[in-house]
C-alpha cells in the first residue's frame, strides 16, 4: 500500500533531476561519466594521515557548532578575497548541499519566493520547494562570446512583494562565468533597494581561468547584514565524499543560522581537523589540479568546436563546459539519452539547469585527457550519426 499519505506533502513535488538525466538507463562498465561534478583526484597522503592522526589523538567526540580551529582557518582563508570575518561568523556544514538547506531553513517562510538565475545549479530548487517556498527564475543573457551572464533588468523584473532572497553562483556552475565588479555592484544595490537577502554560492573560487578576480558580494555596501556566502571543500580540495562545507554570514544572520534545529550535523570531527591541514598545506595539490583542468579544458573546447553543429565557449572558471548544441536540431534531453545509449557517455542536459539553457549540455571534465580523447571520439561518432 502506498505510504504517500504519510508523506510531508512537499516531498511529492520535488524534482528528481538526477533520475531524469539518467533517463532510466542502466550503467555498464564501458560507461564514461562526465555527469556529476565529482573531481577524479584522490586525496594526498598528508590529508589521509591528518584524518587518522586526528582519530588517534582522540578527536572522535562531540564538537558543537564546528571545530574552532577550522572556523578560524576558513576565516583566515577568506581574507585572501578581502573578506574580514570573525570565526564566530563561520558555520561548518556537512557539504555545501546541506549548507543550502540550512540557509533556507533559517530564512524561508512558506509562500515566499526565491529568485534563481536561469541557468542555475540544480541543487537550489528542491530545498526551496521542500520548505514551501516558490522558485522564480531570472534569465541570464548570452554575451557576444556566447557566455551566459546575469542580467540586472531581468532580475529586477522578477522581484515581487514575496521575494525573500536571490541566489547567485559566483563562479558559476553551469555557465562557467566569474561575476564582474559591475555585475556584483548592481546586484548588491538592487538587494539593498528591495531589502533582499543574497545567497552567494562561492564553491569554485580556486578554479578561475580568465583574468577575472573572485569578488565576494559581502564586501559591497549594505551586504554584511543580508549575505550568506556558501562555500565547500568539495571542489577546492576534491573532497566531495568527505563532506565539508561552510557558510559565512554577517553577525546578525549568523544568529538566525544558530537557531536552525539541525542538531549536530557538521562534518565528522576528524575531517574537520583534516580540513585545517588542507587549508594550511593543500595549495600545491590545488595547483596540480588547476594545471590538469586547464589542459582538459583546452583540449575539450577544441574538440567540441571541431564538431559541426556544436559551439563551445571557453569558460572563465570551473571545470564544466556548457556547449550549445541547438544547431543539431535535437533537444538536450534527447541528445544526452542518445549519447548514453549509443556511446555510453554520460553528460547532463541543459534542461536540468532551467528552460533558458535548452539547447545546451553540460560536461564535467573529471577525467584525464587520454580518457577525454576517447570521450570526444565517441561524441563525434554520435554527432555524425544524428546529423
Ligand X SMILES: Cc1ncc(COP(=O)(O)O)c(C=O)c1O
Could you write out the DSSP letters of every residue in 219-273?
GSTT-TTTEEEEEEHHHHTT-GGG--EEEEE-HHHHHHHHH----S-S--HHHHH
Task: Please state, in angstroms and rounded to a whole number, the distance separating the CA atoms of residues 85 and 65.
Answer: 16
Contact between 267 and ligand X by CB under 6 A: the answer reads: no
Tell me, residue by residue from 113 to 152, as one string, x for binding to ligand X by CB under 6 A and - for no binding. --------x-x-----------------------------
Cα 374 from chain centroid?
Answer: 27
As measured in angstroms, the least distance from the Cβ of 124 to ligand X is: 8
Stretch binding ligand X (CB under 6 A), from 41-49, 90-98, 132-140, 250-258: 90-98
Task: Please state, in angstroms and rounded to a whole number, the distance separating the CA atoms of residues 77 and 205.
Answer: 12
Q: Which residue is nearest to ligand X (CB)?
A: 96
On the CB side of 30, CA atoms within 13 Å amount to: 8
Q: Which of 35, 96, 216, 354 binds ligand X (CB under 6 A)?
A: 96
Shorter beta-carbon distance to ligand X: residue 95 or 349: 95
Contact between 268 and ligand X by CB under 6 A: the answer reads: no
Stretch binding ligand X (CB under 6 A), from 108-116, 154-162, 218-226, 232-240: 232-240
Helical H runs in the chain?
Answer: 17-22, 45-56, 68-78, 96-107, 125-130, 152-158, 181-194, 233-236, 251-259, 269-281, 283-305, 332-343, 369-386
Q: How many helices (H) and strands (E) does the chain have?
A: 13, 14
Shorter beta-carbon distance to ligand X: residue 95 or 127: 95
Contact between 163 and ligand X by CB under 6 A: the answer reads: no
Shorter beta-carbon distance to ligand X: residue 125 or 234: 234
Please answer whether residues 282 and 136 qualify as being in contact, where contact means their C-beta atoms are separated by less than 8 angstroms: no
As measured in angstroms, the least distance from the Cβ of 160 to ligand X is: 25
Shorter beta-carbon distance to ligand X: residue 107 or 230: 230
Site for ligand X in 201-220 (CB under 6 A): 201, 203
Q: Which of 245, 282, 323, 354 binds ligand X (CB under 6 A)?
A: 245
Strand order in the sheet with 163-169: 90-93, 245-249, 227-232, 197-201, 163-169, 113-118, 134-139
Please answer whether residues 263 and 93 qualify as being in contact, where contact means their C-beta atoms are separated by less than 8 angstroms: no
Q: Which residue, chain included where needed, has cell 579544458?
A: 297
As measured in angstroms, the least distance from the Cβ of 377 to ligand X is: 27
Quick check: helix, strand or coil at residue 168? strand
Tell me, residue by residue from 345 to 364, as one string, x for binding to ligand X by CB under 6 A and - for no binding. --------------------
Q: Which of 102, 163, 200, 240 binds ligand X (CB under 6 A)?
A: 240
* Interface contacts to ligand X, rule CB under 6 A: 37, 95-97, 121, 123, 169, 173, 201, 203, 232, 234, 240, 245
Amino acid at each position: 500500500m502506498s505510504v504517500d499519505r504519510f508523506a510531508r506533502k512537499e516531498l511529492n513535488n520535488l524534482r528528481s533531476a538526477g533520475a531524469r538525466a539518467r533517463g532510466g538507463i542502466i550503467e555498464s562498465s564501458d560507461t564514461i561519466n562526465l555527469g556529476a561534478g565529482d573531481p577524479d583526484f584522490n586525496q594526498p597522503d598528508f590529508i589521509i594521515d591528518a584524518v587518522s592522526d586526528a582519530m588517534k589523538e582522540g578527536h572522535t567526540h562531540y564538537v558543537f557548532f564546528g571545530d574552532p580551529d577550522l572556523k578560524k582557518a576558513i576565516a583566515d582563508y577568506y581574507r585572501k578575497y578581502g573578506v574580514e570575518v570573525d570565526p564566530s561568523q563561520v558555520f561548518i556544514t556537512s557539504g555545501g548541499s546541506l549548507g543550502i538547506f540550512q540557509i533556507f531553513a533559517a530564512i524561508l517562510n512558506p509562500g515566499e519566493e526565491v529568485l534563481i538565475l536561469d541557468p542555475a545549479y540544480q541543487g537550489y530548487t528542491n530545498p526551496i520547494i521542500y520548505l514551501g517556498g516558490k522558485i522564480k527564475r531570472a534569465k541570464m543573457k548570452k554575451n557576444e562570446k556566447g557566455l551566459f551572464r546575469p542580467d540586472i533588468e531581468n532580475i529586477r523584473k522578477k522581484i515581487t512583494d514575496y521575494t525573500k532572497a536571490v541566489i547567485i553562483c559566483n563562479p558559476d556552475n553551469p555557465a562557467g562565468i566569474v561575476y564582474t565588479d559591475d555585475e556584483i555592484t548592481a546586484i548588491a544595490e538592487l538587494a539593498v533597494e528591495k531589502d533582499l537577502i543574497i545567497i552567494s554560492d562561492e564553491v569554485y573560487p580556486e578554479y578561475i581561468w580568465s583574468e577575472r578576480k573572485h569578488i565576494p558580494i559581502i564586501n559591497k555596501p549594505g551586504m554584511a547584514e543580508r549575505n550568506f556566502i556558501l562555500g565547500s571543500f568539495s571542489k577546492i580540495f576534491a573532497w566531495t565524499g568527505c563532506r565539508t562545507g561552510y557558510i559565512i554570514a554577517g553577525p546578525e544572520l549568523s544568529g538566525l543560522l544558530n537557531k536552525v534545529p539541525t542538531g549536530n550535523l557538521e562534518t565528522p570531527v576528524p575531517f574537520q581537523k583534516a580540513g585545517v591541514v588542507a587549508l594550511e598545506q593543500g595549495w600545491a595539490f590545488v595547483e596540480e589540479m588547476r594545471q590538469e583542468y586547464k589542459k582538459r579544458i583546452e583540449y575539450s573546447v577544441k574538440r567540441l568546436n571541431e564538431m559541426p553543429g556544436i559551439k563551445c565557449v571557453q569558460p572563465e572558471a570551473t571545470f564544466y563546459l556548457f556547449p550549445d548544441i541547438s544547431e543539431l536540431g535535437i533537444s538536450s534531453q534527447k541528445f544526452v539519452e542518445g549519447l548514453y545509449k549509443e556511446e555510453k557517455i554520460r553528460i547532463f542536459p541543459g534542461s536540468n539547469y532551467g528552460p533558458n539553457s535548452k539547447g545546451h549540455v553540460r560536461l564535467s571534465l573529471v577525467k584525464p585527457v587520454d580518457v577525454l580523447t576517447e570521450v570526444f571520439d565517441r561524441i563525434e561518432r554520435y554527432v555524425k550519426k544524428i546529423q
